Each structure stands twice: as C-alpha cells, then as structure tokens.
Amino acid sequence: MRTRDRRFLILVACLTALALVLTRVWWQPKLYTVTVLPTLGGDFVLPWAINERGQVAGFADVPKPPGTTRTKHRLFLWDRATGMQDLGPVQNDRVAINNAGQIVATMEDPNGRERAFIWDPNHGRMLLPTLGGGTSRALAINDVGQVVGEAETPAGVRHAFLWDPVAGIQDLMPTSTTENRAWSVNDAGKIVVFGKGGPFLVSADDAATTQRRSIPVRGLIRISDVGEIAAATQTGSRRWEVVLWREGSGVQTLFQLEAESVDTPFVNDVGQVVVGWRDRLQFRLFERPLFPLSHNGCLWDPRRGRISLDRYLGVGRGEDFWLTDLNDQGCIVGQVAATKDSRSRGILLEPIPERWGK
C-alpha cells in the first residue's frame, strides 16, 4: 500500500473515531427535565434543600422598596401543588427540610442575634433554645425531627448541639474548649461533627456519653440514611478525588478530577453523588490567566458511572452555579448566579423515569 493511501486511511479512521466520540458526548439521550423555579418577586433565588416529596426550601428576595439597593432574604417553600410560599425573614445561611415538610434555618431575634428556628407546616415558626449563650445556627434536620447545628455556651464558645422535640437540647461536645459544629444528621441519628481533631461521627443515642469516632475523609457535607458520606479530597495541585466513606467499609474512590476548586459533594440513599467544580486552562499572559473559569457539574451513579450535568444547567457568560442538594429520587437543586450582581435563578433537575429504566 502506498504511503499516501495509508495516510488517507489513518485520517479516515481518526475522523470516524472523533465522530463517534462527539456523537456519544453531544447526542446522549436527555436524562433530566429542567424547571426554573419561580421567585418571590425579587431577582435572587437560592434553593438549598429538597425532600422526597419534591418540596424545595431556600432563600429568595422580595421586590426592593424604592430607594434601597437590596432587601433581606426570605425563607421560601416551593412545590408544584402550592407554588412559592413566603415563610418570613431568614439569614443567608443553610436551610434544611425533612419529609414531613419541617424546615430549619437561622434568623435574627428581636435583639439582632442569630437564632436557630424550626418551621412546621402545622405550627409555624419556633425559636430553638441555645446552650446558655445568646446565639445559635440550625444546620440540618432528619425525619425524626432531630435538629443539629451550633450554639453558644455560657462561656461564649460555639458547640455542636442536638435538639430533640422530646428531650430538648444537648451539647454534643461539652468538654471542648474550642469551637465545633454538628453539620449533618441522618434518620438513624448519626451526626457528623466538625471540631478540633475531627470530623467525628456521633450517635444521638450515645451523645450523653460523648462517644465519637473519627471520620477518615475531609470536605464532608451530609451523611445519607444508609451511613455513606461523600467527600472531595485534594491529592495534589489541581488534583482531586471524589470518594465515599462508610463506617466499616473503608474509603471508595469514585472518580478523579483536575480542577482549581471543587464544591463539597452530596450523596443520597441509593449511592448517587452530585458535585460541581471549577477549572481554568493554564495559559497565562503577564501572570494573568487568558481564559475565564469553566464551570462543570456531574452526577455519579452506581450503575451508569459519571454523568455530566453541564448541558442542563444553562450557565452563560458571566454566571456561576452551585449544586445544593440531591434527594433519593435523583432530583437535584441548585442556583445559577450572575458573578457581577445579585441576580440568580433556582434550578430543579428531575430524572426522566423511562430514560433511567424506572
């Protein structure tokens, strides 16, 4: 075979392979429907949590009064049956919702101090007690109605707390002289606590005995009801591993990333993990990068592996995104936000059942 013919065949083979790759990437079946959540009349929406009933809770702005530049955030609850509900003032902090529709978040009390509260669909809003100090923050709630977060002690040190509607409030780190916080709680009463020498895994049943077990991964955000914890661990310059840890099973590496920064992953009870990250091509001129950050997000599924979410997020130039929660149905909520002002939109991704074989 002549050299020219051989080169032609190699070129055809390369182009065919490239076409197959592009077809696989760009023509993969659509796996999600996309819903842009409504607003409370303002230009800011941040969905923060979703439960198994498809109820979404988060922050939003109402229209700005004349002569002002911004308004304080409002707590919202959204579902398809009732639409957007304004549940009153809230701090721009974490929000959590359980399957009973109970929501926990943080607000300012009449004295201007931050206080944890619970909102119940039957009883409305109730301030939670502190650990003897003046302030507290609610960070998570489970389906039993147990709330965890951080609260001031009489000495003014913030400690991780567990509040139970029957037993009241407990200090999870009563002997600690440094600040710590309870970040996540599952339905089995397993609590992730961040503190000096941590993070730790604490059981609500053993909280009074101060028994705690060290967790061998960092970057935690939430523990699933089956006890799995997802983390993004930096292993080198621009090198990350997304991992799952379960007590007694060790650490499982799901996939690796090259990125400048990675958001903390979320995990659900069927082992799906969702994570976002940011990267920049390493071309510089006079020590400045020539390209803006690229924004990426994916879901890892135990059967399908890694699935890109970029095509569903619709992130434009001058925008960033945050993936904020994932429920057991595989529904994902997040925010696409302008980088130069406060404008944002809330996004809900819902799996198309027939495309997932459900």
Q: How confident is the model at residue 210 (pLDDT cuts 50, 70, 90)?
A: low
> Residue 68 above 80 pLDDT?
no
Structure tokens at 138: 């609610």
Please compute the mean of the pLDDT values over residues 211-219 and round it to a whole number.
81
Confidence (pLDDT) at 283? 46
* Cβ-based neighbours of 340, under 8 Å, separated by 6 or more: 318
Using an 8 Å Cβ cutoff, are 347 and 324 in contact? Answer: no
* Residue 319 predicted with pLDDT over 50: yes
> What pLDDT, on a 0 to 100 scale, did the predictor assign at position 289?
46
Residue with tokens 């700005």: 64
Domain extents in the chain: 91-215
pLDDT at 21: 46
Cβ neighbours of residue 249 closer than 8 Å, sequence gap 6 or more: none
Q: Give the model's pLDDT for residue 243.
A: 94
Q: How far apart are CA 29 and CA 19, in angstroms?
A: 17
Give pLDDT, residue 198. Answer: 81
Q: Which two tokens stand for residue 206?
A: 């053993």
Residue 336 structure tokens: 């696409």
Give me the pLDDT at residue 29, please: 81
Q: Which CATH class is domain 91-215?
A: mainly beta
> What is the C-alpha separation between 26 and 18, in angstroms, rounded?
12
Q: Which band of pLDDT confidence, cut at 50, 70 and 90, is reported for residue 114?
A: very high
Of 284, 287, 283, 267, whose CA–CA distance to 275 is shortest? Answer: 267
pTM beyond 0.85, yes or no? yes
pLDDT at 9: 62
Distance CA 18, CA 9 (A): 14
**35, containing H or E segment:** strand 32-36
Note the pLDDT of residue 301: 96
Lowest mean pLDDT among 4-8, 58-62, 216-220, 234-238: 4-8
Residue 346 has pLDDT above 90, yes or no: yes
Mean pLDDT on 238-255? 91
pLDDT of residue 290: 47
B/e letters for 24-49, b = 16+ CB within 10 Å, e = fewer, are eeeeeeebbeebebebbebbbbbbbb
DSSP 121-158: TTTEEEEPP-SSSS-EEEEEE-TT--EEEEEE-TTS-E
Mean pLDDT of the chain: 87
Residue 82 has pLDDT above 50, yes or no: yes
